[in-house]
Chains A and B, each alone.
Chain A
Amino acid sequence: MSAPSLPELPSLPDLSGHFGRYGGRFVPEALVRALDELDDAYRTAKTDPIFQAEFGNLLKNYAGVPSLLYRAERLSRAVGAEILLKREDLNHTGAHKVRNVLGQALLAKRMGKPRVIAETGAGQHGVASATAAALLDLECVVYMGEMDTERQALNVARMRMLGATVIPVTNGSRTLKDALNEALRDWVASVDTTHYLLGTAAGPHPFPEIVRDFVGGIGVEARAQCLDQLGRLPDAVAACVGGGSNAIGIFHAFVPDEEVRLYGFEAGGEGVETGRHAASITGGSSGVLHGARTYVLQDEDGQTVESHSISAGLDYPGVGPEHAWLHDTGQAEYQPVTDAEAMAAFQLLCRTEGIIPAIESAHAIAGAVRIIPELSAEIGREPTIVINLSGRGDKDVHTAGAYFGILDPVETLVPGEQE
């Protein structure tokens, strides 16, 4: 297989960035020129063989792309389906996000912008941005909710080691959405010198399209790998959905294949019915957030409601606009997966395959396992499911260890402190 190139799938969004009624640009006028410049730069880059060669080269020789499509035999036997894992966890920096940051950092260079800013929740996109900035010699500033800097101190250290400046955001709920607000505020004041390296396929046009295209190689590769390894397409493709970049990255190439069902699994937190979740599509409603019309967690006055998920990477009260459109048109199906379901799947993958997944990706595994019975019944045989294993779980070992109660046995054994 040759180095992946940007997928050539036109249609949506339209020229003004709309996917049906979703997407668009709901931004201060101050940002419009920067968005137009970015759009122009991207249109040119997209058809420029030099840019594509540079991007392809970095992906292949730096990030380790194309990632493997791995047949998970023991997991398959355990769940009664043929499971193929798209091993994005093996990419440099441990997730699909490296594809997006390399693409955008190259674009920033091309636009002559010496500085990039990024928002981050768990720190993965921040680490990826800091990595690309180090590689391409760009100044990098990462906005991170103060609460997240405390929860993810290791990633803060990583970013700093890579030369980035991490700015803790102390307003609002002090999490990802507030980091995004702060990054937008920075950008309004710094557009001349700064590219906003947005971390997911959301935000104002052209970000949803650019990010989708940069990560779209996931689906292009997976589709070709399926044809190569199986001689046919899978019955279903599954991915977790927070902002939705890994999901749109693997879905996009399969959208024209009507026989392939697309499943997006949102963070159901403690259960959608409890109100403590991050399932914007299945538990939210249409609205405008962070520059685009999409599904949003909001109250009846349109104020954003705080999201909840055990997975920091899915803990966001909005979703990319293309997912809203795929949902409304029935081209993809979205379901919530609770924290508990995700953690059971996390453990299942650890024990059957020796792979510690990101908790985000564990949502995709849990969801895929859930749909096996109905899929089997529908097609009359064991289904073949490609799951996007979007990231590795090193960053989640502390969370998972606490969840399973396997951290710090020494401390609980201090004499005299036992109950």
Chain B
Amino acid sequence: MSISDIFRKARAENRAVLVGCMPAGFPTVEDSIASMIAMHEAGCDVIEVELPYSDPVMDGPVIQKASDIALAAGVRTRDTLHIIEAVAKAGAPVVLMTYWNPIEKYGVNAFARDLAAAGATGMITPDLIPDEAAEWIAAADEQSLDRTFLVSPSSTDERIAMTVANCRGFVYATALMGVTGARTSVSRQAPDLVARVRHADPEMPVGVGLGVGNGKQAAEVAGFADGVIVGSALIRCVLEATDRPTGLARLRALSGELAEGVRRPEK
């Protein structure tokens, strides 16, 4: 199922899509595959695989730490593609989130080709704005991959319109001015941002990320957005567990709680 179909279906069910994020190769390649499959089985509609990068400027301490662990264990770009393939084969829709330099280094066209071959639906690019993305936009068209760019509370209406026009699949709304990481409360800026995106394009699904960590917050965000994106809180399940089975059990439990949350949107 395409990402657009997943959002359409969720809309029909009057609920939001749950997107769960996990860095590739954290803490090992095989463990990250197991985590992602568990997340999907327990209720994450879409798995967002993050390609570990040495200088993740949009990410808070949890994702930084997980990325560092993956990189220290020697994870390579080709491992990320392998992980995507394994998770997609297990039936989970997969979108890649990646900083730009690893893609530029791989070669944009070659990467788009291999990403599509691995079964990913598209790519989220936190430090690539449409202004610099001509090569990726063309490559994504060539490979029929979705493009998710970010909009932020600081974006002007003109930039929101331009960014949404360059997205396919869904647009990623960063709920607050800051880096990734669970917060105690949902940003008040988020509903306003989502409304501005809808004004620019009522059809484009909007995923909201940054700060969501539990079922209650998921329900709150599901009340105004099409997708709820959760990263740090899920990663912490693995990071803080003393052994793998505990980590997987916590991942399943939190995924279940979040999945339940997106099904009771607070209007």
List residues 286-317 of chain A with CB under 8 A from any CB of chain B: 287-291, 293, 296, 298, 300-304
By the criterion CB–CB under 8 Å, are A25 and B174 in contact? no
In the assembled complex, the Cα of A218 lies from the Cα of B60 at a distance in Å of: 39
Do A301 and B154 contact each other (CB < 8 Å), given the known contacts A28-B126, A296-B101? no
Select the residue from A16, A26, A290 with max chain B CB neighbours within 10 A.
A26
By the criterion CB–CB under 8 Å, are A29 and B174 in contact? yes
Q: Encode contact with A along B93-104: 1 for CB under 8 Å, 0 otherwise.
A: 000000011111
In the assembled complex, the Cα of A27 lies from the Cα of B57 at a distance in Å of: 9
Residues from chain B with Cβ under 8 Å of A191 in the complex = 154, 177
Residue B131 contacts which of A25, A33, A188 (CB distance < 8 angstroms)? A25
By the criterion CB–CB under 8 Å, are A28 and B57 in contact? yes
In the assembled complex, the Cα of A30 lies from the Cα of B103 at a distance in Å of: 21
Closest Cβ of chain A to B194, distance in Å, is 15
Do A26 and B179 contact each other (CB < 8 Å), given the known contacts A181-B57, A298-B105, A304-B55? no
- The residue in chain A whose Cβ has the minimal distance to the Cβ of B53 is A303
List residues 37-81 of chain A with CB under 8 A from any CB of chain B: none
By the criterion CB–CB under 8 Å, are B71 and A303 in contact? yes
List residues 202-237 of chain A with CB under 8 A from any CB of chain B: none
Closest Cβ of chain B to A294, distance in Å, is 11
By the criterion CB–CB under 8 Å, are B155 and A32 in contact? yes
Q: Does B150 contact A (CB under 8 A)?
A: yes
By the criterion CB–CB under 8 Å, are B131 and A16 in contact? yes
Q: Does B2 contact A (CB under 8 A)?
A: no
In the assembled complex, the Cα of A30 lies from the Cα of B176 at a distance in Å of: 9
By the criterion CB–CB under 8 Å, are A30 and B177 in contact? yes
By the criterion CB–CB under 8 Å, are B102 and A26 in contact? no
In the assembled complex, the Cα of A171 lies from the Cα of B60 at a distance in Å of: 11
Residues from chain B with Cβ under 8 Å of A255 in the complex = none
Do A26 and B132 contact each other (CB < 8 Å), given the known contacts A34-B154, A172-B54, A188-B177? yes
Residue B55 contacts which of A181, A188, A190, A293 (CB distance < 8 angstroms)? A181
By the criterion CB–CB under 8 Å, are B55 and A290 in contact? yes
List residues 247-306 of chain A with CB under 8 A from any CB of chain B: 287-291, 293, 296, 298, 300-304
List residues 150-189 of chain B with CB under 8 A from any CB of chain A: 150-156, 159, 163, 174, 176-179
Q: Does A392 contact B (CB under 8 A)?
A: no
Residue B54 contacts which of A16, A192, A304 (CB distance < 8 angstroms)? A304
Q: Does A177 contact B (CB under 8 A)?
A: yes
Residues from chain A with Cβ under 8 Å of B128 in the complex = 26
By the criterion CB–CB under 8 Å, are B155 and A28 in contact? no
In the assembled complex, the Cα of A16 lies from the Cα of B178 at a distance in Å of: 25
By the criterion CB–CB under 8 Å, are A29 and B156 in contact? no
Residues from chain B with Cβ under 8 Å of A290 in the complex = 55, 57
By the criterion CB–CB under 8 Å, are A189 and B179 in contact? yes
Residue B155 contacts which of A33, A171, A192 (CB distance < 8 angstroms)? A33
Select the residue from A24, A296, A302 with max chain B CB neighbours within 10 A.
A302
Residue A287 contacts which of B61, B71, B104, B177 (CB distance < 8 angstroms)? B104
In the assembled complex, the Cα of A16 lies from the Cα of B53 at a distance in Å of: 26
- The residue in chain B whose Cβ has the minimal distance to the Cβ of A185 is B179
Closest Cβ of chain B to A308, distance in Å, is 16
Q: Does B224 contact A (CB under 8 A)?
A: no
Do A32 and B61 contact each other (CB < 8 Å), given the known contacts A189-B179, A191-B177, A301-B102? no
Residue B76 contacts which of A16, A25, A171, A301 (CB distance < 8 angstroms)? A301
In the assembled complex, the Cα of A185 lies from the Cα of B57 at a distance in Å of: 6
By the criterion CB–CB under 8 Å, are B64 and A287 in contact? no
Residue A302 contacts which of B58, B102, B159 (CB distance < 8 angstroms)? B102
- The residue in chain A whose Cβ has the minimal distance to the Cβ of B180 is A185
Residues from chain A with Cβ under 8 Å of B76 in the complex = 301
By the criterion CB–CB under 8 Å, are A27 and B129 in contact? yes
By the criterion CB–CB under 8 Å, are A188 and B156 in contact? no
Residue A189 contacts which of B71, B102, B151, B178 (CB distance < 8 angstroms)? B178
Q: Does A184 contact B (CB under 8 A)?
A: yes
- The residue in chain B whose Cβ has the minimal distance to the Cβ of A285 is B105
Do A188 and B58 contact each other (CB < 8 Å), given the known contacts A28-B150, A29-B152, A302-B106? yes
In the assembled complex, the Cα of A165 lies from the Cα of B59 at a distance in Å of: 23
In the assembled complex, the Cα of A24 lies from the Cα of B132 at a distance in Å of: 7
- The residue in chain A whose Cβ has the minimal distance to the Cβ of B60 is A185
Q: Does B149 contact A (CB under 8 A)?
A: yes
By the criterion CB–CB under 8 Å, are B105 and A287 in contact? yes
In the assembled complex, the Cα of A203 lies from the Cα of B57 at a distance in Å of: 13
Residues from chain A with Cβ under 8 Å of B68 in the complex = 171-172
Closest Cβ of chain B to A245, distance in Å, is 20
Closest Cβ of chain A to B72, distance in Å, is 11
By the criterion CB–CB under 8 Å, are A300 and B105 in contact? yes
Closest Cβ of chain B to A38, distance in Å, is 13
Closest Cβ of chain B to A284, distance in Å, is 12
Q: Does B127 contact A (CB under 8 A)?
A: yes
By the criterion CB–CB under 8 Å, are A29 and B177 in contact? no
In the assembled complex, the Cα of A192 lies from the Cα of B106 at a distance in Å of: 36
List residues 77-110 of chain B with CB under 8 A from any CB of chain A: 77, 100-106
Residue A32 contacts which of B71, B102, B104, B154 (CB distance < 8 angstroms)? B154
By the criterion CB–CB under 8 Å, are B154 and A287 in contact? no
Residues from chain B with Cβ under 8 Å of A300 in the complex = 105
In the assembled complex, the Cα of A71 lies from the Cα of B231 at a distance in Å of: 60
Closest Cβ of chain A to B51, distance in Å, is 9
List residues 108-162 of chain B with CB under 8 A from any CB of chain A: 126-129, 131-132, 149-156, 159
Closest 7 CB pairs of A and B: A302-B105, A30-B152, A189-B178, A302-B102, A302-B101, A304-B54, A288-B101
- Please list 10 pairs of residues, one from A and one from B, whose beta carbons are closer than 8 Å in the complex, sorted by A's number: A28-B150, A28-B174, A29-B163, A33-B159, A184-B57, A189-B176, A287-B105, A288-B100, A288-B104, A301-B105
Can you name 6 extra interface pairs (CB under 8 A) apart from A29-B150, A301-B76? A30-B150, A188-B178, A192-B154, A288-B127, A289-B101, A303-B54
